[in-house]
Structure 1
């Protein structure tokens, strides 16, 4: 039997995660757009600079490209996790639990990967305010996504 008292807690965490994933998607989309618009353009002679990186971002440091790319992927999968989680909240049954937990676990693992690049970016120091905001949101999301998984799994644990 599912613990109905945990349903409002799960829905609050899901709403918080939705807002934060939407902000991460907005900032990482802005950074990706800026990198595409201001990136390196190969001229007619097709010569690359000595230290060319295909993941070049005009703002930030050497870890910014990886951080933004994986944050964008984590944000999209996180929104998918929100979709499966809202379906689970509507049904609140053991039948909808596996899909919600599996997508949330995948989203959490990708968020952890982005968090690792966020820590590397913090370690390298050079970044702007938008990237600092996205770093903070990714670090917070890694905790709240794990908390969401614990809440929905704990509400369906059998009491023996």
Structure 2
């Protein structure tokens, strides 16, 4: 019976995915849209939100949305235990804060708990005029310097629900590869 339990537990792998990024990047809107399929009013996250995203009958991801305000960032490290993928959300229209996002991302990726953990960067708010291209965001965040890590950048719109399902299917594929 113990062997069966162990086999069953291996089948039910919990895939914790951490959603991080600067405040106002759209993390909570993104999570709400993913979980409900609806556009929802959200407010700044104090602490975290969590939900389970079912990709198919056998695959689900537990997605943790962690508040992005400066005062919250020192607490991010407490969410990294058992993290299988990091999804870093940026506001693709906010050119002014891209350098801050780059510094914050670099600092998070230095954490030992994230060694070898795949990174998905979501360029949110692509439905708005003047949003940056994937290449611009990749350059601004200096993603090429993370060549020891599996990473990807995808455009999305949390508000409109564009690109979200595809992005999280990619996240799951990255988890399986790593």
In our comparison, the structure showing a higher alpha carbon Rg is 1
Structure (1 or 2) with the greater helix fraction: 1
TM category, shorter: under 0.3
What TM-score, normalized to structure 1? Answer: 0.25
More strand by share: 2
Q: Which protein has greater RCO, CA pairs closer than 8 Å, 6+ apart? A: 1
